[in-house]
């Protein structure tokens, strides 16, 4: 733990009591609610301290958020018996996120989430070449080694939550423009974690932001291989998915989910579909596909996914105003440190619902382009809502 200068490091919202835990000392301002702040280790690339910030609501639900990557580290929600269950895989320190390949766990992904073919795109007649870090050096994936999920973000405590800010410099990661990015997490008393993405740029650029949390509604301590396969998944607003080549790059075809293992419109257990004899599914060794969202207009929030654990009764509903989402069943986790529970997370022990623009949209005709114009504003949301059903 370390000492902290409260006047310079904490912007105190009147809605919360602030407790900073450091060297057995603390600062407390008695107000409605509680925020707990802890030292979360060192971000070696910039020699800065990272912090872990915990917020809660009146129902006992709480969320751990870190300045490293504007990351969701934990989400604790009541199960059908009122017991708090942490439903997100995460790690114990900033070093775990920066020194190991943890699959971008819980992080804010960008500047451009998902894949870009050959790491190349063109904007306003100029060609940009990005680091190729995926599929054997054939694609740019999730911002690569300069991605937003390993940056140490500035923070501000706001009403019922935290706002993280990162200023991406022109040329950083070979992306154009200076871009100011805000990610706000707001926890409501309806057990909703609202994620608001806002950004502005001094030149035209591309921007595709999402969150990469790995969920297990049985509890993150369920780390064994296949631990998420009994989860019931429903995608009520997705009739189509983007067909991809062997490198996960969309061919441009939007295929109906009808009569395929990708059809979750009525809901099904993951285990009933994941081992189906269907080439796109075999190609990705499990689910790792972008779904298209019916009724998308870029403004209204649409309930795109329902996920339920029969064991805990916890149900998660995901809503967004983004055009698609990647459904991923943690098919290829790399060697990693122990998680919060003290055990390593294994293959298919969790699943991800990642709302975003379609993969390689910047290079694919007829896909909406994730372009942020100079002087315009980026405004998108992802909402995770938790309920229980016995």
The DSSP output letter for 285 is T
Do 299 and 321 contact (CB within 8 A), yes or no? yes
Q: What's the rounded Cα separation, in Å, for the pair 182 and 379?
A: 10
Task: Find the catalytic residue in 354, 368, 381, 389.
Answer: 354
CA atoms within 13 A on the CB side of 56: 18
- DSSP-assigned states of every residue in 175-211: --S-EEEEEEEEE-TTSEEEEEEEEEESS-EE-B-EE
Q: Hey, is 101 helix, strand or coil?
A: coil
What per-residue string of b and e applies to 285-310 under the rule 16 or more CB within 10 Å gives b? ebbbbbbbbeebeeeeebbbbbbbbe
Q: Hey, is 145 helix, strand or coil?
A: helix
Tokens 């991406």 found at: 168
Task: Give the distance from CA 71 to its chain's centroid.
Answer: 8
Tokens 């300045």 found at: 67
Residue 246 designated active-site:
no
Residue 354 designated active-site:
yes
- DSSP-assigned states of every residue in 310-366: TTT-EEEEEEESSSEEEEE----PPS----TTSSPPPTTS-BEEEEESPTTGGGSTT
Q: What's the rounded Cα separation, in Å, for the pair 169 and 354?
A: 25
- The values of phi and psi at residue 262, to 5°, are -85, 0
The CA–CA distances, whole Å, from 294 to 212, 244, 354 equal: 22, 20, 16
Task: Find the catalytic residue in 140, 142, 212, 231.
Answer: 212
Task: Give the distance from CA 258 to its chain's centroid.
Answer: 28
- Cβ atoms within 10 Å of 125's Cβ, excluding its own: 5
Radius of gyration, alpha carbons of the chain: 20
Closest to 62 (Cα-Cα) out of 80, 46, 77: 77
The catalytic site residues sit at 212, 354
């Amino acid at each position: 733990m370390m000492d902290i200068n409260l006047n310079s490091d904490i912007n105190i919202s009147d809605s919360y009591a602030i407790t900073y835990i450091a060297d057995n000392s603390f600062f407390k301002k008695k107000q409605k609610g509680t925020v707990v702040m802890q030292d979360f280790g060192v971000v070696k690339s910039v020699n800065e301290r990272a912090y872990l910030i915990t917020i809660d609501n009146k129902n006992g639900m709480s969320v751990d958020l870190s300045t490293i990557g504007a990351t969701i580290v934990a989400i604790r929600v009541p199960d059908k018996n009122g017991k708090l269950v942490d439903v997100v895989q995460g790690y114990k320190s900033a070093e775990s996120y920066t020194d190991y390949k943890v699959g971008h766990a819980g992080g804010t992904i960008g500047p451009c989430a998902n894949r870009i073919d050959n790491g190349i795109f063109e904007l306003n007649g100029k060609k940009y070449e990005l680091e190729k870090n995926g599929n054997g050096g054939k694609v740019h994936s999730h911002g690569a080694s300069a991605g937003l999920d390993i940056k140490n973000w500035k923070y501000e405590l706001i009403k019922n939550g935290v706002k993280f800010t990162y200023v991406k410099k022109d040329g950083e990661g070979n992306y154009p423009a200076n871009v100011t990015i805000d990610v706000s997490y707001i926890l409501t008393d309806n057990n909703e974690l609202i994620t608001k993405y806002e950004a502005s740029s001094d030149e035209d650029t591309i921007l595709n932001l999402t969150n990469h949390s790995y969920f297990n509604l049985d509890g993150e301590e369920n780390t064994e291989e296949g631990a998420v396969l009994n989860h019931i998944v429903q995608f009520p607003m997705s009739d189509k998915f983007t067909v991809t080549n062997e490198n996960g790059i969309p061919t441009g075809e939007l295929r109906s989910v009808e009569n395929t293992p990708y059809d979750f419109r009525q809901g099904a257990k993951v285990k009933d579909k994941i081992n189906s004899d269907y080439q796109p599914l075999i190609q990705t060794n499990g689910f790792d596909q972008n779904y298209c969202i019916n009724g998308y207009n870029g403004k209204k929030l649409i309930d795109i996914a329902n996920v339920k654990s029969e064991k805990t009764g916890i149900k998660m509903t995901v809503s967004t105003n983004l055009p698609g989402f990647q459904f991923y069943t943690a098919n290829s986790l790399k060697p990693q440190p122990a998680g919060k529970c003290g055990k390593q997370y294994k293959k298919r022990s969790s699943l991800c619902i990642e709302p975003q623009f379609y993969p390689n949209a910047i290079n694919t005709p007829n896909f909406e382009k994730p372009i942020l114009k100079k002087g315009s504003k980026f405004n998108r949301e992802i909402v995770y809502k938790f309920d229980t059903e016995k």
